[in-house]
A and B are shown apart, each in its own frame.
Chain A
Amino acid sequence: MLNKLIFANLGHRPVRTLLSVLAIAVEVTMILTLVGVSHGTLDQSAQRARGVGADIWFRPPGSSAIGLSSAPMSDKIPALLMKEPHVTFAMGTMVQPLSGFDAMTGLDLDDFRRLNGGFHYLKGGPLVNDNDVVVDEYYAQQKKLHVGDTLNLVNHDWKLVGIIESGKLSRICVKLPMLQTLTGNPGHLSQIFLKVDDPKDAQSVVDALRVKYHGYQIYTMEEFTSMLSISNVGMLKSFIGVVIGVAVIVGFIVVFMAMYTAVLERTREIGILKAVGGSSGLILNILFRETLLLALLGSVVGILLTYGTQWLMKHAVPASLVQETVYGWWPIATGIAVVGALLGAIVPGIKAVKQDVTEALSYE
């Protein structure tokens, strides 16, 4: 019986209902998209790191897991590392951060081939001249690039000679000495990849290296990829926190407005319910159920909208942003929407309960 009244109430003001649902939906989409992009981006980083085919990852002191540092290590180190027991090969690369999440990598293609068989070229071929650049399929798609095009990166014109299959090391690769010179870091590296004779020994090799190269960040590839999660990236964690905070406030305000106007508008109806013996609990029950329904509807629409943003990113910016569907966050985002909405319904609810019956009944 109450549900009938609630549906009748919501149906009575379809535009207000629709707007409330949409606002809550946007709130939910905001959260889910951010979480999805965070997961997607980190997973892609992990996948590219795995795609390198190395067993150990070696970075200079003071760098962070996804930090895009420049090049503070000497390029003499790989040769030293190769002399370490069990280390069969070492390859140094240099990473130059670009705008946004993009970065370009300078590497030696012969070394890279020894590490993992090299890139798979979808179009064109490998780097030959100093000005050559290869990019992965997603970067090419996003920037609408074709083999033979010229592209300007770090104030230099490069010639695109090959489009590589995504998932290995980096989206944009050039020759190492060229990038070192251009960025003013000749003879310097940002990271070194190591291969060991038996991958099962990787951890013990890491342990030994940590003693010898004190302060350097040395991880097995497994360790490194497992570190690529939201909770390990402080900036992402707080960013998501801020977005959730904003989302809750938006949901709160929207529901507050919707329910407040609903209570004002229904002054007489609430008075009638009280006159026939409806308790405060009943009045609140109706308002909160109505709010809950709005929040749940909004969450469902929000989840559906997330597939829209996913599609959009896949087609507009496939290289920079990858959005995954993180099912685990569906209930969390819904919970956040419900909490914000219920908070928004509190003050209107109190107002409804406090209304004087005789005044409400004489209300026009």
Chain B
Amino acid sequence: MSEPPIIKVRSLTKTYQVGEVAVHALRGVDLDIRKGEFAAIIGASGSGKSTLFHILGGLTPMTTGTVQLNGRDMAGMTNAERTELRKTTVGFVFQKYNLLPTLSAEDNIRIVQYIGGRDTVFDPAFQEILKLLGITDRMKHKPRALSGGQQQRVAIARGLVNSPAILLADEPTGNLDSENSAAVLKLIKDLNRRLGQTILMITHDADAASYADRIVKMRDGRIV
């Protein structure tokens, strides 16, 4: 327990200015995530889960507070620095899969590898991941030809291809039926167990959260 947390959040606030109105999405969040941990953040709609996800992933700047990600301070990061962070340190899994529709499953993964500046062969470790996800025979298909569960597995593979320090998942099973949800959640847990992959998953579903090692509850922009 002497190792510093891979995610360290202190007094984080985020305020959206919508015209005259200030929306306080995060009102002072404190959170530590240890390396290799599989944590779930659960909370009602509007409690600020996605906002936290966007800030941790470097998709949106924070308003005040400190966030350390893999030892790097995120406060005051420029756009370009956050882009670099997304390229190297975090992988994303979204509720809506977000695959590029014109590319095959394989090319969806390869283009992320290309952007990450890696060579475009899949190393044996990643081949293992593909096998684990059970999508090796679906790689030549376009997203349209894949089921929701298959698309989400491709998206998970894409999120891991550049070996990010942290995998962030926002409602990864939100669009899946219960059977597919269970399968995907089991895979996520497997990836955490076998690879020691740090995973932070956001959900409003207690069943989904129960797969995690630790459950963090959020309400009205605070951890409770």
Residues of A within 8 A of B (CB): 1-2, 4-5, 8-9, 11-12, 268-269, 271-280, 282, 357-358, 361
Contacts and interface: CB of A to CB of B under 8 A. Distances in A.
Contacts of A278: 83, 87, 115
Contacts of A276: 86-87, 92, 111-112, 115, 158
A271 B107 CA distance: 17
A4 B54 contact: no
Contacts, number: 73
B115 A282 contact: yes
Nearest to A272: B98
Contacts of B88: 277
B84 interface: yes
Nearest to B54: A358
Nearest to B79: A280
B110 interface: yes
Interface in B85-127: 86-88, 92, 94, 96, 98-103, 107, 110-112, 114-116, 120
B59 interface: yes
A282 to B, nearest CB: 7
Given A1-B110, A276-B158, A361 B98 contact: yes
B11 interface: no
Contact of A279 (B83, B99, B100, B111): B83
A68 to B, nearest CB: 58
A279 B85 CA distance: 11
Contacts of B158: 276
A277 B100 contact: no
A275 B101 contact: no
Interface in B110-164: 110-112, 114-116, 120, 158, 162
A279 B84 CA distance: 8
B98 A275 contact: yes
A275 B60 CA distance: 11
Contacts of A358: 54, 59-60
B80 interface: yes
Given A5-B103, A11-B102, A358-B59, 4 more contacts: A4-B107, A273-B111, A282-B115, A358-B54
